[in-house]
């Protein structure tokens, strides 16, 4: 199998981009990524497009995004597909793209994560998100994805003896880091006191522990080793890629507080890269809520089960901690971009590995861990990135 490298990244800010269409957003991020490698690399070098998008049909009224964006990017006729796995779409599209290079089918591909949600009002947005949970037995019963995270949070608090504000360190860390991310949606700090006073959304989740869905696009250019050598461009190697699934319905899980798909994909990825948890310098996880980050940290094996909130309270997730998380603001402060989130995650980790993350820079970051989830851990896809010298 061939090695795979990330050679270019581009994003739009995450925001309510009322003036921009889905295509506008995708083109802006695509242009930015190409700008990083111009003039050495040109669009005509690209062999395929992988579009990561979860809500195109339900919220943007548009399907067949592969063909749409192939034309929009001026690459009419190119191989192009859209990849959907709810919130994991970004990571899954990255995996599909990486596999094309690993298999030697292509030597330069683009991953375009894009989500356009603000043309619709809140009830339709909730309905779109609810497509990712079990239709007959969860959505039709009045459940939302937020409700499911809330159910897990309450059960977690009950089993491990935490109060709700034990999760405050997660959004507090995310917001602090977002201050130094120009593309983040919310660039103001919050604190534990504000967290305690925030209104309930789905008890015990409050307003400061719930991310907001917004518009954005993020792009990655992936190249083969041969092309990297030929072009002489700086590169980040994808050292691992692993995907696992679990039951869609939460009530069907064997152990609700243990994300088996997360464990499986994380373990497989670390094995592929021949690394251990302590080798990881910086992480991106699906963290729309503190409980999500906690469960992902635990099932990925970074901390013992039931200890993630204490680990966070002790500073473990800050840029100077053992598992720096959400250095660009995470889902909460950078913003949740649905199917594009998994691509934003990787762009942020590349920023860290390149050493250009400003105040939120993790010192000497060489190895990064990106994981995104579809639904409440029904799909889990993990990538490990390393600076190319390693």
Partner 1 sequence: MDLAKHWRQKATRYRLEGQRHRVTGAVRFPAQPGMPGEDPDVWEPFVFSGQGEIYSFTVLRQAATGFAQIGPYPVALVKLVEGPLVSAQLTDCAEADLAIGLPVEMVTRRLKDMGADGVLVYGYKFRPILR
Q: How many CA atoms lie less than 13 Å away from 156 in the CB half-sphere?
A: 29
Interface with partner 1, residue 140, by CB under 8 A:
yes
**Residue 146 main-chain phi, psi, to 5 deg:** -60, -40
Q: Are 377 and 247 in contact (CB under 8 A)?
A: no
User: Minimal distance in Å, beta carbon 102 to partner 1?
Assistant: 30
Q: Is 48 helix (H, G, I), strand (E, B) or coil?
A: strand
Of residues 200, 274, 276, 278, which one binds partner 1 by CB under 8 A? 200
Of residues 18, 44, 77, 122, which one binds partner 1 by CB under 8 A? 122
Rounded distance between C-alpha atoms, residue 107 and residue 355, angstroms = 26
Q: What is the 3-state secondary structure (H, E, C) of 337-361?
A: CHHHHHHHHHHHHHHHHHCCCHHHC
User: Minimal distance in Å, beta carbon 148 to partner 1?
Assistant: 8
Interface with partner 1, residue 141, by CB under 8 A:
yes
Interface with partner 1, residue 154, by CB under 8 A:
yes
Rounded distance between C-alpha atoms, residue 172 and residue 286, angstroms = 16
- Helix orientation angle between 341-354 and 89-102, rounded to the nearest 10 degrees: 70
Interface with partner 1, residue 367, by CB under 8 A:
no
Nearer to partner 1, 255 or 389 (CB): 255
Binding mask 16-35 for partner 1 (x = CB under 8 A): --------------------
Under rule CB under 8 A, how many of the chain's residues touch partner 1?
A: 35
Interface with partner 1, residue 304, by CB under 8 A:
no
User: Minimal distance in Å, beta carbon 322 to partner 1?
Assistant: 30
Rounded distance between C-alpha atoms, residue 198 and residue 71, angstroms = 45
* Sequence-ordered list of residues with C-beta below 8 angstroms from that of 161, at least 6 positions apart, any chain: none
Interface with partner 1, residue 256, by CB under 8 A:
yes
**Residue 221 main-chain phi, psi, to 5 deg:** -105, 125
Nearer to partner 1, 1 or 121 (CB): 121
- Whether a cis peptide bond, with omega within 30° of 0, leads into 204 is yes
Nearer to partner 1, 128 or 342 (CB): 128
Interface with partner 1, residue 155, by CB under 8 A:
yes
Interface with partner 1, residue 142, by CB under 8 A:
yes
Of residues 35, 40, 64, 203, which one binds partner 1 by CB under 8 A? 203
Alpha carbon 128 to chain centroid distance? 18
Interface with partner 1, residue 143, by CB under 8 A:
yes
Q: Parallel, antiparallel, or unpaired for β 48-52 and 108-115? A: parallel
User: Minimal distance in Å, beta carbon 136 to partner 1?
Assistant: 6
User: Minimal distance in Å, beta carbon 248 to partner 1?
Assistant: 11
Rounded distance between C-alpha atoms, residue 370 and residue 154, angstroms = 26
Of residues 103, 105, 163, 252, which one binds partner 1 by CB under 8 A? 252
User: Minimal distance in Å, beta carbon 156 to partner 1?
Assistant: 9
Nearer to partner 1, 155 or 196 (CB): 155
User: Minimal distance in Å, beta carbon 125 to partner 1?
Assistant: 10
Helix (H) or strand (E) holding 52: strand 48-52
Residues within the interface to partner 1 (CB under 8 A): 122-124, 126-127, 130, 134, 136-144, 146-147, 150-152, 154-155, 158, 200-205, 249-252, 256
């Amino acid at each position: 199998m061939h090695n795979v490298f990330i050679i270019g990244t581009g994003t739009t800010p995450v925001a309510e981009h009322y003036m921009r269409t889905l295509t506008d957003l995708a083109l802006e991020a695509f242009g930015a990524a190409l700008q990083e490698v111009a003039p050495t690399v040109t669009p005509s070098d690209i062999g395929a497009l992988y579009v990561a998008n979860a809500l195109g049909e339900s919220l943007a009224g548009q399907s067949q995004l592969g063909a749409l964006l192939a034309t929009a990017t001026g690459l009419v006729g190119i191989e192009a597909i859209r990849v959907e796995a709810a919130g994991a779409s970004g990571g899954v599209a990255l995996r599909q793209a990486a596999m094309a290079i690993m298999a030697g089918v292509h030597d330069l591909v683009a991953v375009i994560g894009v989500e356009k949600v603000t043309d619709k009002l809140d009830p339709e947005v909730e309905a779109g998100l609810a497509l990712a949970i079990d239709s007959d037995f969860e959505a039709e019963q009045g459940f939302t994805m937020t409700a499911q995270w809330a159910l897990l949070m309450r059960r977690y608090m009950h089993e491990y003896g935490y109060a709700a504000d034990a999760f405050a360190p997660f959004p507090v860390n995310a917001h602090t880091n977002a201050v130094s991310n120009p593309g983040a949606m919310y660039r103001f700090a919050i604190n534990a006191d504000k967290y305690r006073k925030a209104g309930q959304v789905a008890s015990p989740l409050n307003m400061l522990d719930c991310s907001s869905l917004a518009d954005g696009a993020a792009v990655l250019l992936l190249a083969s080793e041969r092309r990297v050598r030929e072009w002489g461009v700086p590169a980040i190697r994808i050292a691992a890629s692993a995907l696992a699934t679990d039951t869609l319905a939460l009530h069907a899980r064997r152990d609700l507080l243990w994300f088996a798909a997360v464990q499986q994909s994380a373990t497989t990825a670390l094995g592929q890269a021949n690394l251990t948890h302590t080798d990881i310098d910086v992480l991106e996880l699906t963290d729309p809520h503190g409980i999500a980050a906690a469960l992902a940290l635990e099932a990925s094996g970074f901390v013992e089960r039931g200890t993630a909130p204490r680990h966070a309270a002790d500073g473990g997730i800050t840029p100077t901690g053992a598992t720096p998380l959400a250095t660009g603001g995470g889902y909460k402060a950078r913003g949740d971009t649905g199917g594009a989130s998994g691509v934003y995650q990787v762009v942020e980790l590349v920023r860290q590995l390149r050493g250009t993350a400003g105040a939120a820079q993790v010192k000497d970051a060489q190895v990064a861990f990106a994981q995104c989830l579809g639904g409440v851990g029904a799909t889990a896809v993990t990538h490990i990135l390393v600076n190319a010298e390693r």
